[in-house]
Structure 1
Amino acid sequence: MAPFVETDETIQSEELVAPQAAPWKYEIVYPAVLGMGYIHLAAIYGLYLAVTAAQWYTLVFSAFTAVAAGIGLTAGAHRLWSHRAYKAKPPLQILLMIMQSIAFQYSALTWAKLHRTHHRYSDTDADPHNATRGFFFSHMGYLMVKSHPEFRKRVKLMDFSDLYSNQILMLQHKYTILFCFTFCLLLPTVIPVYLWGESLSVAWHVSMLRYVYNMHTTFLVNSVAHMFGSGTYDKSIKPTQNVFVSLLIFGEGFHNYHHVFPWDYRTAELGNNWLNPTKLFIDFFAWVGWAYDLKTVSDDVISARAERTGDGTNSWGFKTKSS
């Protein structure tokens, strides 16, 4: 079914009645709880095996796939498809689609739909991981309960026509389980076993460890970066500047900036290159010619917004000279 296309009247009426957090009875999805339980137990055992039994080839390979999965999310599902902060030619889109499949966090299309809805209705009942419901809910609890009725209502009003018209995204979306199982679980398990003789148990459980690590680093943006840090650019919203999160998730922790300027492909003021490997990845492919039309915000606009609505601190939490 074709998505509903927003009009100015629709957007205005939605924003006037933006849903706020209200009492809500959680409906637990028990298969999701069991699944979460298994992968976390498997990851704990994988950590033990990584320390006691895994070959160093396996550990290096797992680290490489973790980075690939993270960049697939940050450069692909997030900055390219959710926010259209830059454009990518088909070869780069295919590469990012495969890398996002390693993360196994829905299809990139579904990920982008959820994320756009999160931005439109941030920290309200229509936000799929509403931070006003507490740390655990916004971090991972939302995956184990049925989504809020307000979210199910509002997501149908969003315009996702660009996502549905993208043949690469639609291919992955149609065969989500095949793509994600193959690139997230099957190949990362089979490759160590057949190429350097790792045991099947070690290969599988270290893959589970990498998978859970990628999940939690992503979740930190929804939880920690909505609760702890500074409101450098807009002190009236919950998203914050959190350097710790940026260290773990390739530059995604400058979250107050990102919610104020979501179209900036850097997701951080001045790029913050040394904390922003995703920007460097996109810059490299811009140099190659596969990425283009990179969107940024001018320094003057950034400074003016910080002065007008910010809290008088910079990204490191220190007071600015003018405050």
Structure 2
Amino acid sequence: MSTSQLLRSPAKKPLSLSQPLQESIGSHKQSSDEPKVIYVWQNIFAFLLLHSSIIYGAFKLFTNPPWLTMAFATLVGHMSALGVTAGAHRLWSHRAYKAKLPLRIFLAALQTTAGQNNIFEWCRDHRVHHKFCETDADPYNANRGFFFAHMGWLCVKKHPDVINKGQSVDCSDLLKDPVVRFQRSYFMPLAILCCLIIPSIIPIIFWSETYLNAFLIAGLARYCISLHLTWLINSVAHLWGNRPYDITIGARENRYVIYVSIGEGFHNYHHTFPSDYSASELGMEWNLTTRFINVMYYIGQAYDLKSTPTRLIKDRIKRTGCLK
């Protein structure tokens, strides 16, 4: 068998046919008494400051673009995204595959560079999102509108249902991983170092970039854009697109999100079969994260890759899907 054939066909561990199906939207009723919205002003001001870097980046792009620094920022953005998609999402949140210690450390470092909270809290919120999807207990409930699902949920205090019902979600497995525990204990200094300082210093040292360009473009602007590309999954992929696997849930397949999120936009499939390591029926098509996991499998760092049997997918499409 050729190397290219191997990269297309890793051995995968089928999901159990007895695995519970994704809970439908109607499984949890919305609260009748809406609590008062409490704004988190420190987050709001931080976002305003962060987005100002985009204005500077756009100005430089149309005047005197620092192409090498922009290319470096793009590379760092894609690398850190793998820490979220292959790491916090598919490995730690859904246990869709297992990883040896070197790979877990590598993914934790990339996830820290992404600056999207520590692994434990990221996974806790994501598991709550799946269990109580699009109810008041969903941290980024799309029924509260595009802006709330996109980034507004980070600008206000959590709905009481998120906290109360979220306590029923077991996350004890995460704390058994020493990598997760270490990152959680030292997340703030690690995030400042990995997310802002190192990406800003490298352009200054290696190609004499100006301090302002390095910090605002490779540091802040790259971070801001990376956040928005992740947030698109919570907002756009829950509002626009088709639902070929389960029409009873809000998650959708959105081609544009697929492109910019390195494979996370097959969202109707993912919410229907959350433990599939590929998060897609189409395997590696437009799915850089799946390709990365496959490479890690072949070099012995990833194992026990879970996939959904074709028969189970077809049966589910017949029962709850809509191919229109």
Alignment TM-score, normalising by the size of structure 2: 0.89
**Among candidates 281, 285, 296, match of residue 292 of structure 2:** 281
2:253 is aligned to 241
Superposed counterparts of 1:37-116, under 5 Å: 37-116=48-127
Separation of aligned partners in 2, 1:262 and 1:113? 15
Q: Does 1:18 align with 2:28?
A: yes
Separation of aligned partners in 2, 1:129 and 1:241? 18
Kept in 1, the 8 Å contact 2:60–2:66? The answer is no
Shift of 1:184: 0.6
Kept in 2, the 8 Å contact 1:258–1:267? The answer is yes
Kept in 2, the 8 Å contact 1:54–1:202? The answer is no
2:238 is aligned to 226
Superposed counterparts of 1:1-323, under 5 Å: 18-20=28-30, 22=32, 23-206=34-217, 207-271=219-283, 273-311=284-322, 313=323, 319=324
Secondary structure of the 1:229 match is: coil
Closer, same or farther in 2 for the Cα pair 1:76/1:173, shift >3 Å?
Answer: same
Separation of aligned partners in 1, 2:190 and 2:294? 27
Higher relative contact order (CA 8 A, sep 6+): 2
Which amino acid is the alignment partner of residue 182 of structure 2?
A: L
Separation of aligned partners in 2, 1:153 and 1:19? 14
Report sequence identity in percent.
41
Shift of 1:296: 0.2
1:10 is aligned to none
Note the aligned Cα RMSD (angstroms): 1.5
Separation of aligned partners in 2, 1:192 and 1:232? 45
- Superposed CA offset, 1:206-231 (max 9, x none): 02111111100110000000010111
Shift of 1:64: 0.9
Separation of aligned partners in 1, 2:31 and 2:304? 37
Which amino acid is the alignment partner of residue 307 of structure 2?
A: T
**Where does structure 1 lack aligned partners over 5 or more consecutive residues?**
1-14, 314-318
Kept in 1, the 8 Å contact 2:258–2:264? The answer is yes
Separation of aligned partners in 2, 1:70 and 1:246? 13
Shift of 1:86: 0.1
Shift of 1:43: 2.1
Closer, same or farther in 2 for the Cα pair 1:179/1:54, shift >3 Å?
Answer: farther
Kept in 2, the 8 Å contact 1:21–1:133? The answer is no
Separation of aligned partners in 1, 2:75 and 2:165? 38
Shift of 1:50: 4.1
Kept in 2, the 8 Å contact 1:50–1:59? The answer is no
Separation of aligned partners in 2, 1:307 and 1:79? 26
- Superposed CA offset, 1:140-170 (max 9, x none): 0000000000101112221111101110011
Separation of aligned partners in 2, 1:32 and 1:310? 39
Shift of 1:46: 2.2
Alignment TM-score, normalising by the size of structure 1: 0.89
